[in-house]
């Protein structure tokens, strides 16, 4: 086992152990009365929403981004300029502005383009993520030696077959580390839904924090922002940390 792989296994093992320990502690510790319903709300309503938004965004970004990135290697100026513009615009804009464009801008153009907050966030993340993936794909595809193209052509593959069966499978190997990095970024950026009121982990936490500050019976008239947001941080950390370790490992293995 290489030292890089040993380190990865160590970190992943440690992450699982910490997550298990957190779970046990959560079961054993005597929580204050307000904590349990809030933890349940965040984990049972917020977390599935965060994961759903992220999953849709990652799959969409990969499909669209790999297609655009491959098309970017075609030597045809108009299509290349178009895709380049798309990539530069959505990589350049703050993602929050893209979220506003989808959530506020599209309905202003046409009523049929009205999306609910979580869907709008997914779409915005796809626009941003696919631009990232397209750029990475272009590099990965161009890093495949020219002989591979020629060999595939000699075997009778057309452009689509050549890229689909020969070039992309090899490029995908190089694409894997940035894709895992993208997954982490998308999970974290799914919290942007909070800005437009989509109920994911962060919005769930924030609304409950505010509720607690109300007088009874709605709340308890206390501020517990630190405990709740610290919990949210732990939740995201437990999800992201193993993934960033994995990305670092994949990157090292490739070099």
Residues in contact with other proteins by CB under 8 A are 88-89, 92-97, 100-101, 104-105, 108-109, 184, 188-189, 191-192, 194-195, 202, 206, 209, 223-226, 229-230, 232-233, 236-237, 240-241, 244
Closest to other proteins by CB, 126 or 212:
212
Closer to other proteins by Cβ: residue 152 or 228: 228
Q: Are 133 and 182 in contact (CB under 8 A)?
A: yes
Q: Which is nearer to other proteins, 51 or 93 (CB)?
A: 93
For the CB of residue 101, give the shortest distance to other proteins in the complex, in Å: 5
Q: How far is the CB of 192 from other proteins (least distance, A)?
A: 7
**Minimum distance of other proteins from residue 104's CB (angstroms):** 5
Rounded least distance, CB 190 to other proteins, Å: 8
CB 24, min distance to other proteins, A: 22
Instruction: For tokens 């924090």, name the residue.
Output: 209
CA 199 – CA 207 distance, rounded (Å): 9
CB 102 within 8 A of CB 119: no
Contacts (Cβ under 8 Å, ≥6 apart) of 20 = none
Measured from the CB atom, is 110 or 154 closer to other proteins? 110
Q: What's the DSSP call for residue 179?
A: H
Please, which residue, 155 or 223, has the CB nearer to other proteins? 223
Q: Which residue has the tokens 């895992």?
A: 180
CB 186 within 8 Å of CB 193: no
The CA distance from 123 to 102, in Å, is 7
């Amino acid at each position: 086992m290489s030292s890089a792989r040993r380190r990865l296994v160590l970190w992943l093992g440690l992450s699982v152990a910490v997550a298990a320990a957190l779970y046990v502690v959560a079961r054993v510790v005597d929580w204050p009365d307000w904590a349990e319903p809030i933890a349940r709300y965040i984990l049972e309503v917020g977390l599935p929403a965060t994961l759903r938004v992220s999953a849709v965004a990652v799959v969409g970004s990969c499909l669209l981004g790999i297609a655009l990135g491959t098309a970017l290697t075609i030597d045809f100026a108009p299509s290349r300029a178009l895709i380049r513009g798309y990539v530069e615009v959505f990589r350049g804009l703050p993602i929050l502005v893209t979220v506003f464009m989808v959530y506020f801008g599209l309905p202003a153009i046409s009523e049929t383009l009205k999306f609910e907050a979580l869907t709008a966030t997914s779409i915005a993340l796809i626009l941003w993520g696919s631009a990232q993936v397209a750029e990475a794909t272009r590099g990965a595809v161009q890093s495949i030696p020219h002989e591979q193209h020629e060999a595939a052509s000699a075997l009778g593959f057309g452009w689509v077959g050549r890229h689909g069966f020969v070039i992309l499978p090899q490029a995908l190997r190089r694409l894997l580390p940035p894709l895992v990095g993208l997954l982490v970024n998308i999970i974290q950026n799914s919290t942007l839904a909070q800005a437009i009121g989509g109920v994911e982990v962060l919005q769930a936490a924030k609304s409950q924090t505010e509720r607690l500050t109300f007088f009874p019976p709605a709340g308890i008239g206390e501020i517990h922002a630190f405990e709740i947001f610290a919990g949210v941080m732990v939740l995201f950390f437990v999800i992201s940390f193993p993934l960033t370790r994995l990305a670092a490992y994949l990157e090292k293995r490739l070099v």
